[in-house]
Structure 1
């Protein structure tokens, strides 16, 4: 057999996970091999550096929302779609599958989203979002999709991604910094989470809002926000005076004795 060339870290980890699962399966049925199988299962996964998460600040998000030309039917739909994605934090597939019956445009307004694994969640809608959606679906049947393409057919998640990409290109003409960011439907989803966190919404509520199964998935937003707070704090840090240097307290016998006693 030809020697296999190097594979990516993610592929390696996927194969190792399969080997771990096989070792566990054998161990449950062949106790005499448990020592050897334990060694197999102790082989660690290779660490992968996580890519940085892209999200938009308020000014950038506003520029994206204002990008569509609302003097045209397509622009009105694009604006309503972007506003809905930002308001709800919905995935592209969730927005594509949304029907008019899923909307409750009363007061207060809300939407029912069908997420991964058939998990259903309800998200509140701003009055502004509800108004734009109401204008978009007026006179249509409850079983129709909320968002349609130019052929009056249900928009696909690929079509939604194209709307976001097109709007980002338009917005970057007025706000050039947007051209340095890779903006997608998931970028808007990340933006929703970060903005909710900064508004004081607790992390568990954000987990339910986004439809995450585990709180561990949502915790990344808390880490991002803490990192930004630390950077902001560093900018306003009071510089140490000469009397506050390390040499000053490291030469203090009483203080050093206290540290050693900890």
Structure 2
């Protein structure tokens, strides 16, 4: 059976619609279909992927996070993603825990001067009594 026009992207084949690869790639649904197919194949080699929801948005987000980690430049991430403003890209700064860890590591630890701690006698007596007691809620 021939297609109804030269621009038709599908034709009947054994009762099913056979879509052209150009249609599948050019539409979001088509890309999701191809991605799901490849994710299922990858899950056979890496079973932990089977529990994950892999979508085009997840790929886009992962790419953005890798670009941010590699360049440390939010402007490049914004350019890569095609965002109109940097405000749209700032969410990736908050999503990256390494930024927070680096800031924490850059801070100097609190300086404590070595000294002897002398606990008050009342505190020591209370702790000793709790240690001997079997009923801790007194």
- Calculate the TM-score normalised by the size of structure 1: 0.29
Return the match for 1:187 from 58, 64, 78: 58
The question of whether the paired residues in 1 share the 8 Å contact of 2:67 and 2:77 is answered with yes
2:49 counterpart of 1:154: no
CA distance in 2, matches of 1:186, 1:152: 21
Q: Which has the higher contact order (CA 8 A, sep 6+)?
A: 1
CA distance in 2, matches of 1:178, 1:216: 32
2:79 counterpart of 1:208: yes
User: Could you tell me which residue of structure 2 aligns to residue 172 of structure 1?
Assistant: 43
Return the match for 1:198 from 56, 62, 69: 69
Higher Rg of the two aligned structures = 2
CA distance in 2, matches of 1:152, 1:205: 31
RMSD of the TM alignment (CA)? 3.1
TM-superposed deviation, 1:212 = 1.0
- Calculate the TM-score normalised by the size of structure 2: 0.52
Q: Against the structure 1 CA distance between its residues 158 and 178, is the aligned structure 2 distance closer, same or farther, given a 3 Å change threshold?
A: same
User: Could you tell me which residue of structure 1 aligns to residue 124 of structure 2?
Assistant: none
The question of whether the paired residues in 1 share the 8 Å contact of 2:64 and 2:77 is answered with yes
Q: Against the structure 1 CA distance between its residues 229 and 214, is the aligned structure 2 distance closer, same or farther, given a 3 Å change threshold?
A: closer
Q: Against the structure 1 CA distance between its residues 152 and 194, is the aligned structure 2 distance closer, same or farther, given a 3 Å change threshold?
A: closer
TM-superposed deviation, 1:230 = 4.2
Gaps of 5+ in 2: 1-17, 105-112, 118-138
- Tell me the secondary structure at the aligned position of residue 212 of structure 1: coil
Q: Against the structure 1 CA distance between its residues 154 and 189, is the aligned structure 2 distance closer, same or farther, given a 3 Å change threshold?
A: same
CA distance in 1, matches of 2:103, 2:40: 33
TM-superposed deviation, 1:229 = 5.0
